[in-house]
Structure 1
C-alpha cells in the first residue's frame, strides 16, 4: 500500500497514512483528548485505523497502555508501523479482528476506558466511496448498536466509554446506551460560533445511574476560518479536554 507521512500535534507525532482511502482528520485527536486515564489504566480503541487516537493518547498520557482493534489488515499494518515510528511499542498493541467474532482473549470487563471513532454513515443512507478502504472506514458494516454493545461488553463496571460521532445520530446513540450507562456528558464540537454542531463527543460510565449533562462544547473555528485557541490547544499542543 502506498502512503504519505503526515505530522500531527505540531509535529510531535508522525503517521503513515494511505495515499488513497481512509485518512485520519481531527476527529481522533478530539476523541483521545477527552480521555483522562489514571496511571497504568488500560484503554481500548475500537476501530483504531492507522493508530491516530491511540498514539495521541499515549503521547499525552505516558503511563497508560492502549490496545487498538481494527478490521482492515492494511490499516493494521500501518498502525503497527506508526506505533514503532513513534516509539510506543511497549505501550500500544493492535489486534486485527472483526468485532462480531473477536478473539477469546478479549474478555468482558477488561478495560478501564473504551474509546471509539466508528464509521459515521449507515450503508443505505450514503453514497459509498469507490475506494474500498475508505468505504469500509466511513460506512457501517456493523450496526451501530452492535458496535456500542461490543464496546460496553469489554469495559469494566464503572469504566468510561467515550465516542465521537455525527451530531445528527445522537438520538440513536442515546437509545443504544439507555439503561446501560450513566453520568453521561454530551460535548458538541461547533465548526463556528453561529453554525450547528456536526460532531459530538459522548462520554458515559458503565453501570451507573447519574444524570445526563449537556456541556457548552467547543467552537473550532474563529475569524478567517482559523482554529480557535481552544481547538489549537488540542490539535497543536496535545492538551486534553475537560468535558
Structure 2
C-alpha cells in the first residue's frame, strides 16, 4: 500500500475546498470550520495559524475571504507537508513552516500579522491518556501550555490585530488567565450542542491593545431540537450556512 492509500481527500464547505488528510490519526472536523467563520479577516490582510495541521481552518478562511496572505506553523512534518499540498490544491496564498511555536523561525519572529488563529490541543497532557497514534496525540494533547500559545500569538499580532481561538469549554479559565495582561477586548462565545445542553467548546476573540470590556456573546447552538430524534443532520440553519456555504460567524461589534 502506498502513502497515498493512507490519505483521504475530503470536501469542506460543500466542496469549496478539498483537503488531503490521514485516514487514521487526527482528522479535522467542524472545529476548524467554526474557527475560520469566527475570524474577522478582510481581503489584503495577513493571517498566521499556529498549529495548522492539514490547513483546514486557513483554507476555509481563504474560501470565504479572497486576497489573504496565509502562514501556517506546524510542528509535525507530515501534517505540514499536507497543509502545503492542500494550499496548492486550493489555490491559496499560504506558506507552511515546520516549527515548534516556542521556537519560531527568525523570518516569522520578524513579522507581525493582522490575525492569529489557533485550535490548540484540547487536553492537558497531565490529565489525558496518550493516543496510540502519535499525530493524533500531539494534536489533541500537546506539551505546550495555553499560556505559551497566547504569548506567542500576542507577540506576532500587529497593533489592533485579532487573536481568534477555539478551545474546550473547561479550559476557558486557563485561557482567560493567559490573556490577562497580554490582550484585551476579550469576547467569548459558547458552542452548545443543543438548547439546554452544557457548552462543549468556546470561541474566544481578543485584540492587541484592546480596551473594551469583556463580553459574553450569545451562544452558538449547533443542532435543532432538545434531543437527537432521527437519523441524518439536524444542524441549525445558521450553522448549516457556516458549514456548507462558508458563511461568517460575526461578533457583536
On whether the aligned pair clears a TM of 0.5, the verdict is yes
Give 2:234's aligned residue: 226
Give 1:130's aligned residue: 132
Distance in 1 of aligned mates of 2:129 and 2:235:
30
Give 2:201's aligned residue: 199
Post-superposition CA distance 1:102-132 (Å, at most 9, x none):
1111125610100000111111111111111
Distance in 2 of aligned mates of 1:182 and 1:87:
34
- Among candidates 5, 10, 15, match of residue 9 of structure 2: 5
Give 1:186's aligned residue: 188
| Consecutive unaligned residues in structure 1, runs of 5 or more | none
CA contact under 8 A between 1:109 and 1:153: conserved in structure 2? no
Give 1:148's aligned residue: 150
| Consecutive unaligned residues in structure 2, runs of 5 or more | none
Question: What is the CA-CA distance between 1:72 and the residue it aligns to?
Answer: 0.4
Question: What is the CA-CA distance between 1:179 and the residue it aligns to?
Answer: 2.0
Q: How many residues align?
A: 241
Distance in 2 of aligned mates of 1:74 and 1:181:
32
Distance in 1 of aligned mates of 2:42 and 2:184:
20
CA contact under 8 A between 2:151 and 2:182: conserved in structure 1? no
Distance in 1 of aligned mates of 2:250 and 2:45:
18
Give 1:73's aligned residue: 77
Q: Alpha carbons of 1:191 and 1:231: their partners in 2 closer, same or farther (altered >3 Å)?
A: same
CA contact under 8 A between 2:122 and 2:167: conserved in structure 1? yes
Post-superposition CA distance 1:48-76 (Å, at most 9, x none):
00000111101100021110110000001
CA contact under 8 A between 1:108 and 1:153: conserved in structure 2? no
Q: Alpha carbons of 1:184 and 1:36: their partners in 2 closer, same or farther (altered >3 Å)?
A: same
For the aligned residue pairs, the C-alpha RMSD in angstroms reads 1.2
CA contact under 8 A between 2:74 and 2:97: conserved in structure 1? yes
Post-superposition CA distance 1:143-171 (Å, at most 9, x none):
11111111111111221010000011111
Give 1:237's aligned residue: 245
Distance in 1 of aligned mates of 2:169 and 2:110:
29
Distance in 1 of aligned mates of 2:68 and 2:76:
25
Give the TM-score normalised by structure 1: 0.96
Distance in 1 of aligned mates of 2:43 and 2:246:
18
| Structure 1 runs, 4 residues or longer, greater than 3 Å off | none
